[in-house]
Structure 1
């Protein structure tokens, strides 16, 4: 029986369902897979420890690891090679170890796009407001552009980071399609939907990136956070009459992509969704 050691690097990830998703899919395929959490916050580690952690996992024979907030961009400096897509967006959520080298991939783009396509069918994309432009935000922004978003308005406390992402998006998809917003209420007032690509709402990061007063019934709202499934933003958006979509689908679809990088086997997203729903119902 094939065996694989895998895991997840990030901060405040104790409630992640990734171990369950990957291990259940492996069991269904007759594969022995162990998936472990490496919570840098709980272990007193920081960004400076990334290379040491990756080296230790390689030495222990890991097939690879997922990477989540806040290290999706920082981890790139410690990799040997990037997929074309990961290099294009400047963020990595999956690292595979092969032949003594570290390969970086990004399955978040596919995960977000599939979640939006299947979870909010027919959602208008003429203008979208996105909160956040970090590693996850880069992936969701590229996914939105690839799905045909006409104008993407980015908001981030780190305006330089948002400007950098805008420049990259415009160079690829067409000048002027991405801008950095100045007035959130005004931007939302003419938008079709809102994407939260920040950690706000996640366990350990309470709050919402969008003021409740900005939410109107005509909007669709989606969140990349999935623990909890019902973030403050989604609860307030639902109460305002918006169409809402949680981050579970993005997690499932990106996990399916990562599983293939780790094992060389295709995952079944429908089966992974059933696993997600089973553990969430407990």
Structure 2
């Protein structure tokens, strides 16, 4: 394999929508690294076989998206603590025939959010949605020291189950959606995060008054298409500080790029503008 370009890819099903090749391609060009980053669409029943074939072919690793994140963790020889806590991996790194599972979603979420937290790490937060994205957000918040979290979901039992599974160091209280809306109309919160698909293009928006929220509240929506969701529009009208979700997508790629290609990289305005253009967000 000596002299061959370093190779990595993103794996999913379907995968044609992924911006990962554009993101990693930007950094490869910027860094002057002889590397290749591609798209691989695997049938779910062939996932493990195909991953092991990539190891044999000399790939450095892969990023993993739906529906393979749990399977990626299960097949790995080792996993970092954050991936084990979240219960899923979005990055597999190959070395000496072994597979190491990592999860950079929590990292990407926090790197995108924390510049907007001018008052430092809040003591509490409200998280909307209890799906796969909520797992990384709940872990990141606890890892940074947030002590109390309200977790809201349309199906209360799902929020209760996730709270019980992931609580390590924080008190996580499950709420149904109506109770969460009442809470946000009655009590000022330092941080509100939407992790659900509501507000995404083609999905029903979050219509929430946020009556008790104001300039001391940071509202983050991890949805990035559109960049300005109905929730963020309402928050801005209330005077809240808002953070869109595109930065999470960009920042989660940084540790993977370093693992695959050996260079530290940053999210610069040019990269964000490139991805916005690719996705038709501007």
Q: TM-score range by the shorter chain?
A: 0.7 to 0.9
**In 1, Cα distance between the equivalents of 2:230 and 2:155?**
22
Match of 2:76 among 79, 95, 113: 79
Counting matched residue pairs gives 270
Which residue of structure 2 lines up, in the alignment, with residue 133 of structure 1?
Answer: 130
Which residue of structure 2 lines up, in the alignment, with residue 30 of structure 1?
Answer: 32
The CA RMSD over aligned residues, in Å, is 2.9
Match of 2:271 among 265, 269, 275: 275
Relative to structure 1, the CA distance from residue 234 to residue 104 in structure 2 (aligned partners, 3 Å threshold; closer, same or farther) is: same
After superposition, residues 194-205 of structure 1 pair within 5 angstroms as 194-203=192-201
Which residue of structure 1 lines up, in the alignment, with residue 150 of structure 2?
Answer: 153
Range 98-107 or range 225-234, more displaced: 225-234
Aligned partners of 1:181 and 1:187 also within 8 Å: no
Pairwise CA distance, 1:67: 1.9
**In 2, Cα distance between the equivalents of 1:27 and 1:97?**
23
TM-score by length of 2: 0.81
Pairwise CA distance, 1:221: 1.7
**In 2, Cα distance between the equivalents of 1:110 and 1:167?**
22
Aligned partners of 2:73 and 2:83 also within 8 Å: no
Which residue of structure 1 lines up, in the alignment, with residue 263 of structure 2?
Answer: 265
Match of 1:184 among 158, 163, 180: 180
Pairwise CA distance, 1:11: 5.0
Relative to structure 1, the CA distance from residue 245 to residue 91 in structure 2 (aligned partners, 3 Å threshold; closer, same or farther) is: same
Task: Mark the structure with the bigger radius of gyration.
Answer: 2
Relative to structure 1, the CA distance from residue 122 to residue 3 in structure 2 (aligned partners, 3 Å threshold; closer, same or farther) is: farther
Match of 1:211 among 199, 207, 214: 207
Aligned partners of 1:212 and 1:237 also within 8 Å: no
Relative to structure 1, the CA distance from residue 25 to residue 165 in structure 2 (aligned partners, 3 Å threshold; closer, same or farther) is: same
> Which blocks of at least 5 consecutive residues in structure 1 are unaligned?
none
Aligned partners of 2:147 and 2:169 also within 8 Å: no
**In 2, Cα distance between the equivalents of 1:84 and 1:240?**
38
After superposition, residues 17-166 of structure 1 pair within 5 angstroms as 17-38=19-40, 45=43, 47-122=44-119, 125-157=122-154, 159=156, 161-166=158-163
Aligned partners of 1:202 and 1:227 also within 8 Å: yes
